[in-house]
Amino acid sequence: MPHIDDPRARFIKGWFQDTVPPFARDFTPKNRLVLHADADLYASTMLPLVYFSPFMSKGTLLIFDEFYDRDHEFKAVMDWQRIFKKSFCIVAEMGNYARICAELI
């Protein structure tokens, strides 16, 4: 595990399905939420979106590094958006929308 000297961040080792639910259960947002989902696969992308949806509001930033894959990150975001009735706009992109930052509106 990497060591960082920033008390605002920490690393949790493990599978998303084992680590995200307990983390989300104990999570209390203090500032604007930034969710960087480096999950690659559909289920691994959808899981944090679902668990952190209650904390998301206008201005929340979502970052995806493989958004171009229509069967995984892109599909998970589109399904999540429909299910949770969330709207967003893309505020930054790289590599022809391979990597994006979206802001909830």
DSSP-assigned letters across all residues of 73-84:
HHHHHHHHHHHH
The residue-averaged pLDDT of 8-20 equals: 91
Domain limits of the chain? 32-104
- Tell me how many degrees the CA angle 93-62-23 measures, rounded to the nearest 5: 150
Q: Give the pLDDT of residue 1.
A: 85
Summarised one tens digit per residue, pLDDT across range 18-48 is: 999 999 999 999 889 999 988 989 999 999 9
User: What CATH code would you report for 32-104?
Assistant: 3.30.110
Position 8 pLDDT exceeds 90: no
The rounded distance, in Å, linking the Cα atoms of 97 and 17 is 27
